[in-house]
Amino acid sequence: MNKSENINYELEKNAEVISQLDDFVTKTVGTTLMDPDDCWQPTDFLPDMSQPDALDQVKLLRERAAGIPDTIITSLVGNMITEEALPSYQTYFNMLEGINDEGSLTSERGWVKWTKAWTAEENRHGDLLNKYLYLSGRADMRKVEQTIHRLIYNGFDPRSEKDPYQAIIYTSFQERATKISHVNTGKLADKAGDLVLGKICKQIAGDEARHEKAYKSFMTEIFQIDPNGAMLAFEKMMRKQIVMPAVLMGEGGKNPSLFDQFSAITQKVGIYTGWDYARIIDHLVKLWDVEKVTGLNDVAAKAQEYLAGLAARYSRLADRMKTPDEISLAWQK
């Protein structure tokens, strides 16, 4: 076989476009992400254990948390576990074509700066929710820790095939999904009387919204430079469906259906549903003006046609989806 036959020219072209965006990404790091000295930190929302009344503060936290339904606690744990698997996410992004060709985490390239600064911000989310749950006494923290361990142990595969275009489609979708999940969890925490937890969830959702906006802007640039490639990547990612980052949390363990249990609860209580999935597709199709892109080649035009009708198709599926009658709580004492 000729060596040239092994070359993935589509991937090479995508990596080249990604390299062209390096200055744009550097600018986005400066305008969208925060300096560590200016960021909120987990301790801003938690009892100050250095104070004489620290145990009184913990007691108040536990009293507030006592009124939260078990389903919401389970959803909160699932959200937190997703946030805690950051080593996998940073590794994944640096393995994409055109992102970190030097193989150096101290590189001055815009994309490398982005992956570090983005995951550094995300790291606070898991830290905050983990400490809150530990202090609340509402979860079996050893089981929670085992699940985090297993998820990182198992890794992460969004099936983007080292393609940076597909990866940016994935993160645009996933950051929005995570934002929705945290917003809805916060609303339910408020309803249950824990306004501090409500504020925590909204603060995390605010970070996710900034990250979502950045990833969507990266993809907007790609659509302008390479509309055919962008359209094909969007179609490929949607045909494979967006798998949640924590999908492997139970794989190989005593409860391999753990992620399905978590998903059933978020569907039942309205934290993240099939309708949300459909609405995110609709949002991205409209944001990137998918239906209005002209001058596409035949393959990309077929991808465009598929994407144009996708949100409506998923909305119909969501309408037919039955709310789970029986749900199994996880990570409970």
Neighbours of 127 (CB within 10 A): 17
In terms of Cβ atoms closer than 10 Å to its own Cβ (0-12, 13-18, 19+), residue 118 is buried
DSSP 242-273: ---TTTTSSTTSS-TTHHHHHHHHHHHHTSS-
Q: Which residues does the annotation mark as catalytic?
A: 40, 83, 122, 125, 175, 178, 207-208, 211
Closest among 119, 163, 174 to 17, alpha carbons compared: 163
Phi, psi of 70 (to 5 degrees): -60, -35
Task: Retrieve residue 118's tokens.
Answer: 């983005």
* 3-state SS string for 14-53: HHHHHHHCHHHHHHHHHHHCCCCCCCCCHHHHCCCCCCCC
Which CA distances in Å does 87 have to 22, 94, 116, 219?
23, 11, 11, 24
